[in-house]
Structure 1
Amino acid sequence: MDLIRRILVMVGDSPVPLNATVFVDETHPFEMVAYHIDLIGQANLADTSITRMGGGMIARAEVGPLTWDGNEFLDAIRSDTIWSRVKQRVGATVGSTTIDVIKALAIKIASDMLI
């Protein structure tokens, strides 16, 4: 989920779609980044453009702009403090969960911080 958050933050701040190569680093090879961009598209968090080679491997991936759902999800998890608390809570309880649960938890944590 850290990679998905990183992608969403950068896409949310960009006026143009971003190529997967922008997110590639020592920890995140192209195949991993492209897979996560594909997941972002499947979750309807952002528009994506995926080009596959024969055999289904992803040859090119672009992401952006964010959809309405993507903007709402990013708004819920953009804060580093909230994101850290969400990861801590999920890690200490269920280990992994859905985007909807993460969004709801982030909103709850933010609400608790305000009250």
Structure 2
Amino acid sequence: MKRNMDLVREILINLNEHPHGYAPDNFKVQGYSQEEVLYHCFILGEAGLIDASNTSSDNSLSPEAIPIRLTWMGHEFIENAKNENIWQQTKDAVHKIGDVSFSVWASVLAKVVEQNLGISS
């Protein structure tokens, strides 16, 4: 399964907007299959953006995890990524060259935020 940065963003936004520090029960993201969501929660946990509980089993088609909460790094990323205009500018910049690593996504996102604040070099 290919990583989907729009889904990554949606998961982080949903966790960030939940009124409590923990993820809601029966976590879902509209427009995505449960397999996609649980796989992305698994890799977000690996990346340190969320705390997640591995729920993979022998019957799982993909690695899967349920989200527990955002980490500090998850909050840092979503604070930059939650603005739709900023996110679209970042996607436009990244898509000029194709698939890139998460660290490049985060770096480009931070640069776009700085440009919008008028503080980039």
> Shorter-chain-normalised TM-score: which range?
0.7 to 0.9
Identical columns (%): 28
Residues in 2 aligned to 1:64 and 1:21: alpha-carbon distance in whole angstroms = 10
Question: Does residue 1:18 correspond to 2:34, yes or no?
Answer: no
Residues in 2 aligned to 1:96 and 1:58: alpha-carbon distance in whole angstroms = 21
| Long gaps (5+) in structure 2 | none
Question: TM-score when scaled to structure 1?
Answer: 0.85
| Long gaps (5+) in structure 1 | none
Richer in helix (by share)? 1
* Partner of residue 75 from structure 1, selected from 68, 75, 79: 79
How many correspondences in the alignment? 112
**CA 1:35–1:49: 2 relative to 1, 3 Å:** same
Superposed counterparts of 1:60-99, under 5 Å? 61-92=65-96, 94-99=97-102
**Does the CA contact (< 8 Å) of 2:44 and 2:50 recur in 1?**
yes
The equivalent of 1:110 in structure 2 is: 113
Question: TM-score when scaled to structure 2?
Answer: 0.81
**Does the CA contact (< 8 Å) of 1:19 and 1:62 recur in 2?**
no
**Does the CA contact (< 8 Å) of 1:20 and 1:63 recur in 2?**
no
Question: Residue 18 of structure 1: CA displacement?
Answer: 3.4
Residues in 2 aligned to 1:20 and 1:44: alpha-carbon distance in whole angstroms = 21
Q: Deviations over 1:12-38 (max 9, x none)?
A: 111122356522x4x421111111110
